[in-house]
Structure formats: structure tokens, C-alpha cells
Chains A and B, each alone.
Chain A
Amino acid sequence: MKALSKYVLAISSIFALWSCEDNIDVELPQAEAVVVIDAWINDKPEPQTIKVMKSISYFENTFLPGLNNATITVEDLDDGYVYAFEKSGEDGTYIWEPDANKSKFGTIQHSYKLTVDLGTARYESFATMNRVPPIDSITFRFEKGNSFFPDSYFAGVYATDPLGPGDAYWIKAWKNGEYLNKPSEINISYDAGGSPGALVDGLVLIQPIRDGINPFDQDENDEFLSPYAPGDSVFVEIHSINFDAYTFLNEVIVQTDRPGGFGELFAQPLANVSSNISLDEDTPGSAKVVGMFSVSAVSAMGQSLDPDNLPVAKE
């Protein structure tokens, strides 16, 4: 009997799904700056960088001011070797250069302690350089377009997670030398799967992670572009990370890769992302410190797209 009214209701509820977005000016509460430590280092044979900075107001679109009076060391807790990071420039950058003693930073399975002395305060953190699987292959595949997507070439990276739980990875990709660094392009994996609670272990990286090396850029008409075109190259690095860093990146994704539009209804609220750096409580100083200390072993591979040489689909 009410069938028609229901029908009308169904149509109006579709209207209710209409959403629109406006960039707005909001007044933010003012707070005292906090210490920011950006210490992601790895075993690539090249200089390693740690940055020490101060937070700034959210809408201040400038670089973070550096804190240039810090003393920074990273100690190998297994063999006692101390890596000293030296100040470089005036933007809070500190660098360790490979030398005759060490051609690269770190040893897999060793644990490291970061110490940042800043005035009277000492900040500390610990991390372990976990194992990293080699990249087995990078392959391209061609897919016919549909109403959302043009005919496209997608890249996939294959690596096999070693048996045993607790391996986490950050998979970074470069297209023609440009680092894919949008928040939506952060690609992390826990034991080849997407999250630690789901017991995936010892597998080839699962498909969404394999495919996480594709940029989904749009042209000026907001039409999607094929991620790769013939002649393009892709370069992939897998960085082993600790659970702390995995959690941190997961939180960064939640906080920075906002769905926007109607999806905001189901998005998580703003929350501070975690940090594994803390004040040594025996030293006077501000306990407000953010950032991560992470040491990674890295495996890498590059590939360029030759359309005449695509693998046959394994269906």
C-alpha cells in the first residue's frame, strides 16, 4: 500500500547522498611548539640523514624550522659501533657519511639506539634492523579500459615474505625517477598481508600491496590516466620496518589520506599519530616530542615497460 511512498523515499535518500566540499578558513587553537625528530635511516650505501625540527602552526605553509644545536648518535647495541651524525646546513639536518670503517649503515638483526641531545634534554629511541626479502620480479600487465579507467598498464611487485610472524615492510616506488609520495601512495605490508591481526604469513605480497606501486593520477579533466605507459620505468624499494614504524605509517595513512566527500562519514576522527621517541626522564626538557626512529634493510629492483614483452596472464 505504501509502496509508492517508499519509492519516493528511496529517491530522496539518494539526494541525501549528495555531498559537497568547500575549503574553509578555521581558527585553530595555538599551542607551544614540540620537538620533531625525523630519523628514518637504512642500509643503502649512501649518506644517512636525521632531521631535528620544531612543529609549527598547522596552516603555516613553510618548512619546519630546524634545531641546529643537537648532538646525534646511533649506537649499534650488538657490536658497540657508534655512528655520529654531523650537522649539515641550518635546517636541522644531520648526516652520517659512509667511511673507511663502514661502507654502509647497519647490520641486519642488530638493534640500534638513537640519542639526540638537545640543550639539557636527551631524547632516545630504539629500533632493530629487520630482514628484508629480495624482490623476485616486477611485471606489467595490460587491462582494457572501462567507464572509470582508460586502457591501462599496471605494474606489480613480487616478493615472498619469509616464514615467521613480525616482518613489516614499507614498499616505496618511483615512476621515471619521481618518488610516489602522495599520502594515498604509502604502501605498507605486515607479513605480506595488510594488517597484523589477520594471520597472513610467508606468502607472496598480497595483490593490493603488489599493485600499490601504481600512481593513480588524473589529467586536467579529472580523468584517470594509465599508471604506466610504454617506455616508462618503475623502481621499487622494500624497506624492512619495525612494528612501531608500521603502526606509525598506518596512522599516518588514516590521518593524511582522507577519503573526502561522503566517505568522511566513515572516516576515523583526527588523532595524534604515535611516536617511538621519548625524553630520558633524568634530563630536564620538554617531554613533548614527536617523530620516528626507524632502521631499514632495503632491497630494490627496477623495470621498464616494453609492451611487446608482457607476461602471459596467469588465469
Chain B
Amino acid sequence: MAGINFLFDKNQGFTWGNKTATIRWNHLFGDRLFSNFTTFFSDYDYSLAFGENSRDRFEWKSRIRTVNFKPEFTYFINASNELIFGGDIIYYTFNPANAIGVSDGESVDISLDKKYGLESAIFIGNDTKFNDMFSAEYGLRVSNFQYMGPGTIFEWETVTPGKQKQYVSETKFEDFESMASYTNFEPRLAIKVQTGEKTSFKASYNRMTQYVHLISNTTASNPLDVWTPSTNNIKPQLGDQYAIGLFKNFGPNNDYEFSVEAYYRDTQNQIEYIDGANLLINQYLEADLLSGIGKAQGLEFYLKKNTGKLNGWISYTLGSSELKVDGINNTEWYPARYDQRHNLKVVGYYELSQRWTLSANFTYLSGTPTTFPTDRYTQQNYLIPYNAFESRGNVRIPSFHRLDISATLNGRKYKRNGELRKNTDYWVFGFYNVYARRNPFSIYFSQGTDRPALDMPIDSYATQVSIVGTIIPAVSYNFNF
């Protein structure tokens, strides 16, 4: 159980929390069939409240409850085959907004209807070891999602692609009636070829389906983001991922590990948002959502040194992630919000003595895409940015890089009288962001903060926002007992 409060006083602020419970039961049927039954309950809720007094206030609560039952069986066919099969049932209750507004003593309930979903799946898979060289894991999962009553479904019509959809009709449904249903086959296959003791190749394919969606179009997601089930309008997200990789160890004691992997993923029914989408307490939310296709690809390198006084690892990914949505970016591919061309991490440790270890940690990330205006215009003396190309993600914010260093002092292992200590402890002395880089996470455009004079043109600014623009020393003492 966890919860966080950001209450400014008893009437204002926001809170969120999560309660979970798990019951697990294992049983062996004979000596070949192993079973595992899991029941999982989770209740995530958050609330937002503000108001002057009881005559004027606003309160919004939202929660998602899930109950999950998952029987899973493992059958040991023989030394080289292991069959796994089972099922999965998840019942979702979404309460997007239980909200009340009180204005001058008169109260209005602006709650949205609850939404219900039932996800069920059966799966079977086998791990086979053909011989010392070849092994494979393969399986199939069949999943179904029911968007269930009671509830109302809406029909929308796209008038202009990329713009808010128009209302056509709505239909009401009774308890447990199916309002939308989706069935998907999710096959998976992974092959491993071991060529010699220290080299292996892997290749895999899998399909994934996602029936519950996070609705957020801000730079970072936040605890008040809305989750929604698949509906008649919001189709489940499908992804096909292909990957191949080479894994190799070097040195007499496997001193070095090296791997290179390439992946390609294409997705269908990715959610996008119209410009100016209203995502909070909006019963017509679906009219503001768009759907598109996505593709992502990457090449990942990893090198690790395991032995010696100096060790550590380097990882590098060259990647891209793009979207294509009717009516957005002139219906051409554009980089996804989290698209990153380069991602480099270097971590090194140096053992100075038995008690002292030095470490350094460097990160480099390409800037994520953002949209810059080309022009300005005014309406009623407000300065409005305008992107005449109607493109998305036309510029990248500068890259992110940072070096952290630290020295760790391990506590003595033995007491003064020579006995082994029961507790272990260590000090870490470090500098975060050693060269004090102002790493930008956002650039925004705005008119000045002063009230503009009517007889003067309006000033405009580009402002870069950085998190932690300075070097931060840190000392921590850690102990285990």
C-alpha cells in the first residue's frame, strides 16, 4: 500500500494511492505438473480538490480497480521440453471522474460514467532444447477484451482528419452487455543457436496486444493522467516486434561480455491527440483522440568488463520511433515524443583499495523532438505562435548529457577485537552533474509576462527549461543490518 498527499489544506490539493493484494497458491500434481494460481487485486485512486469554502468548491476523484485471476501450469514433458499453459482473467472498473462542483451553494454532479472491461486470455507455450546447439521457445496466446455495460457508446464521424470528430449517435447498454469486443492472436517465437561455449545467436518474434491505454499528451506523464479501456472507438494497440542478436564472451574468465541486437517494431492503433485536446473530465474524450500507426527500430550494443581493478560497461542504442496519423503532420511520418536517436551510457568502477572504490557514470541522450513556430500573429492583442508548415516535431531540443562521479568507502568488515561485524555499512561521496550542464527538457515560446501595452508590439521569447543546471555534491551513509 502506498499513497502520497499534496494537500495544501484540507480543501485543496491532490492525492494518489495504490492498494494491492496478491494471493498465490502453488501445487504439484504428481512429479511432472506444477501449478500456480494467482489472484491479484489492485485499486489505484487519485483525487484533486480545491475550493474557497463549502459553498464554492470542486472535488474530483478517479480510480481504477482490477481483479486478476491467473492459473498457470508447467508440465515437464521430458528433459528437453517444458510445456507452459494457462489462462488469465482481468476485470477492470474505471471510474474516470467522480466529481462534484459547488457554485454559490448550488452543487452539480459532473461525474462521468464508470467503464467496465473484461480481459481474458488462454495461452500455451513450449520450451524445447533440440540439442546442445539449438533451442527454441514458442507459444500462442489468444486474448479477448470485452468493453462491458452498463454504459453508453458513442459514434463519431471524422469530418476533417486530425480535427475533433463530430457526434453522430449514442447507444445505451445494460449490465454486462458487450459494447465492443476484440479477439487477438499473439504468437511468439524465440530461437537460440549456441555456436561454441562463448557465442550465441538469438532471433525472436512476438506480437503484443494492449487493451488499456494511458491518455496523456504532456511532455511527462503525471499521476493525474487518465487511463481508459479499449472501446468501440479506441481500438486495442497491436505491436509486432522482431529482434536478432549476437552474444559473445571473451577472455579465459569471461572477462568481457559483448552483445549486439537489432529490433524492429510496428504498431497499429497508436493513440494520438487532436491539437488542443481536452483530456480531463470529458465524456466526449473519444472525439479528441486519433489513431495512427507507429514504427520503431534500433540497434543496441553492449560491452561489459567483468574482471580486474577497472571494470564497468558501455551501452549504446541507435534508434528511432515514428508515428503516422491521418491529418497530423500533413499525414506524413513524424518522430514520436520519446524518439531518441542516440542513447549512450558509460559506467566505470575502479577499485582503489579494499575499502575505496571510485566510480563514474556518463549519460548522453539525443534531444527529443518538439515543435517550433515559424510565424506570429495577433488576435485581440494576444500574440499567437503559428507553425505555417503544420508539422509536428520539426525541431529537436539540445541533447542531454551528464557525468556523475562518486567514491565509496566500505565500512570495516571486522570489529576491533577481530570478530566479523554483523552489520555492513558504506559511505558514498559524490558529485552529480560534475560539469554543471543545464540539460534542457523543454523549450517553450511565449509573450512577455508583463501586461502588454496596446500601442506597442508584443515581445516574444523562447525559454529553455532545464532540470538541475548545477553540480550537486552528495554524501550518503548506508547500512544493512
Query: Count of A-B contacts with CB under 8 A?
Result: 271
Task: Output the nearest chain B residue to A199 by Cβ-Cβ distance.
Answer: B110
| Contact of A183 with B by CB under 8 A | yes
The answer to whether A283 has its CB under 8 Å from any CB of chain B is no
- With a cutoff of 8 Å between Cβ atoms, the chain B residues found around residue A229 in the complex are none
CB of A53 closer than 8 Å to a CB of B: yes
The answer to whether A252 touches B478, judged by C-beta atoms less than 8 angstroms apart, is no
Given A31-B388, A258-B444, the answer on whether A25 and B459 have CB atoms closer than 8 Å is no
Most buried by A among B110, B278, B377, B395: B377
A207 with B374, Cβ < 8 A, contacts A26-B443, A252-B379, A290-B386 known = no
Q: Is B387 an interface residue (CB 8 A)?
A: yes
CA distance A266 to B220 in the complex (A): 6
Smallest Cβ distance from B209 to chain A, in angstroms? 28
Give the residues in chain B near A181, CB-CB below 8 Å: 381-382, 451-452, 454
Docked complex Cα distance between A139 and B470 (Å): 47
Known interface pairs A58-B460, A200-B101; A273-B108 also in contact (CB < 8 Å): no
**Contact between chains at B370 and A4 (CB < 8 Å):** no
Chain A min CB distance to B453 (Å)? 9
B282 to chain A, nearest CB (A): 3
B45 to chain A, nearest CB (A): 20
Contacts of B460 in A (CB 8 A): 58-59, 61
Write out the residue numbers on chain B whose beta carbons fall within 8 Å of the beta carbon of A32.
Answer: 388
Q: Are B443 and A24 in contact (CB under 8 A)?
A: yes
Give Cα A288 to B99, complex, Å. 41
With a CB–CB cut-off of 8 A, which chain A residues contact B110? 193, 198-200
Chain B residues positioned under 8 Å from A56 (CB to CB): 375-377
Minimum Cβ distance to chain B for residue A111 (Å): 19
A282 contacts the other chain (CB 8 A): no
Nearest A-chain residue to B376, judged by Cβ: A58
Is B373 interfacial (CB-CB < 8 Å)? yes
Does A178 make an interface contact (CB < 8 A)?
A: yes
Nearest Cβ on chain B to A235's Cβ, whole angstroms: 16
Q: How far is the CB of A303 from chain B (nearest CB, A)?
A: 17
Contacts of A252 in B (CB 8 A): 379, 382, 384
Contact of A272 among B101, B387, B432, B449 (CB under 8 A): B387
Cα of A120 to Cα of B222 in the assembled complex, Å? 50
Choose one: A61, A254, A260, A266; the contact of B219 (CB below 8 Å). Answer: A266
Given known pairs A55-B377, A198-B99, the reply for A268 and B218 (CB within 8 Å) is yes
Are A28's CB and B101's CB within 8 A?
A: no
Interface residues of A in 8-53 (CB under 8 A from B): 8, 12, 15-26, 28-34, 36, 38, 40, 53
Bound-state CA distance A248–B479 (Å) is 57
Complex Cα distance, B267 from A26, in Å, reads 34
**A137 to B466, alpha carbons, bound, how many Å?**
45
CB contacts (< 8 Å) of A63 on chain B: these are 457
Check A86 for interface membership: any CB of B closer than 8 A: no
Q: How far is the CA of A274 from the CA of B460 in the complex (A)?
A: 21
Decide yes or no whether A164 CB sits under 8 A from chain B.
no
Give which listed residue, B53, B284, B387, B464, contacts A21 with CB less than 8 A. Answer: B464
Partner pick for A8 among B99, B451, B476, CB 8 A cutoff: B476
Q: Does A264 contact B (CB under 8 A)?
A: yes
CB closest residue in chain A, given B222: A266
- Separation of A24 and B444 alpha carbons in the complex (Å): 10
- Which of chain B's residues have a CB closer than 8 A to the CB of A19? 465-469
Asked whether A264 lies within 8 Å of B387 as measured between CB atoms, the reply is: no
- B394 pairs with A29, CB closer than 8 A: yes
User: Known contacts being A25-B462, A29-B389, A198-B281, is A58 close to B374, with CB within 8 Å?
Assistant: yes
Asked if A4 and B451 sit within 8 Å, CB to CB, the answer is: no
Question: Is there an interface contact between A265 and B442, defined as CB atoms closer than 8 Å?
Answer: yes
Q: Which of A25, A57, A198, A256 contacts B383 (CB 8 A)?
A: A256
- What CA separation (Å) do A179 and B51 show in the bound complex? 27
Asked if B445 CB lies within 8 Å of chain A CBs, one says yes
CB–CB B219/A183 < 8 A = no
Shortest Cβ distance from residue A60 to the other chain B in the assembled complex, whole angstroms:
7
Q: Which of A58, A258, A264 meets B441, CB within 8 Å?
A: A264
State which residues 138-188 of A face B: CB under 8 Å. 158, 178-183, 186
Q: Does B332 contact A (CB under 8 A)?
A: no
Which residue of A1, A183, A206, A248 is within 8 Å of B101 (Cβ)? Answer: A206
A29 to B372, CA, bound (A): 8
What's the Cα separation between A182 and B383 when bound, in Å?
Answer: 10
Report if A197 contacts B (CB, 8 A): yes
**Contact: B375 with A58, CB < 8 Å?**
yes
Q: Given A58-B373, A206-B101, A264 and B444 touching (CB < 8 A)?
A: yes
CA distance A197 to B281 in the complex (A): 7
Distance A279 CA – B54 CA, assembled complex (angstroms): 51
A33/B375 in contact, CB under 8 A:
yes
CA–CA, A58 to B443, complex, Å? 14
Taking CB as reference atom, which chain A residue is nearest B285?
A: A197
Do A267 and B222 form a contact, CB below 8 Å, given A198-B282, A290-B377?
A: no
- Measured in the bound complex, the distance between the Cα atoms of B467 and A247 in whole Å is 32
| Given A57-B374, A270-B371, A314-B55, A292:B464 Cβ within 8 A | no
Which residues in B have their C-beta under 8 angstroms from that of A21?
A: 463-466
Q: Which residues of B contact A58 (CB under 8 A)?
A: 373-376, 385-386, 445, 460
Are B372 and A264 in contact (CB-based, < 8 A)?
Answer: no
* Residue B438 at the chain A interface, CB threshold 8 Å: yes
A200 and B377 in contact (CB under 8 A), knowing A34-B386, A256-B383? no
Question: Are A22 and B282 closer than 8 Å at their CB atoms?
Answer: no
- Asked if A255 lies at the interface with its beta carbon under 8 angstroms from chain B, I say yes
Check A272–B466 contact: CB distance below 8 A: no
Residue contact B380 to A40, C-beta cutoff 8 Å: yes
- Say yes or no: A269 contacts B382, CB within 8 Å: no
A79 within 8 A of B: no
Which residues of A lie under 8 Å from residue B371 when comparing CB positions?
Answer: 269-271
Shortest C-beta distance, A109 to chain B (Å), equals 23
10 A-B pairs whose Cβ atoms sit less than 8 Å apart in the complex: A17-B467, A23-B464, A30-B374, A58-B374, A182-B452, A206-B56, A260-B446, A264-B442, A270-B370, A273-B276
**Which residues does A use to contact B, with CB under 8 Å?**
1-2, 4-5, 8, 12, 15-26, 28-34, 36, 38, 40, 53, 55-64, 158, 178-183, 186, 192-193, 195-200, 203-207, 215, 217, 247-248, 250-252, 254-256, 258, 260-262, 264-274, 288, 290-292, 314-315
The 7 closest A-B pairs by CB, nearest first: A197-B282, A31-B388, A271-B275, A207-B56, A31-B374, A55-B375, A265-B220
Q: A17-B467, A182-B449 are in contact. List 10 more A-B contacts (CB 8 A).
A: A18-B470, A20-B438, A28-B373, A31-B388, A57-B375, A193-B101, A203-B106, A204-B106, A265-B220, A315-B53
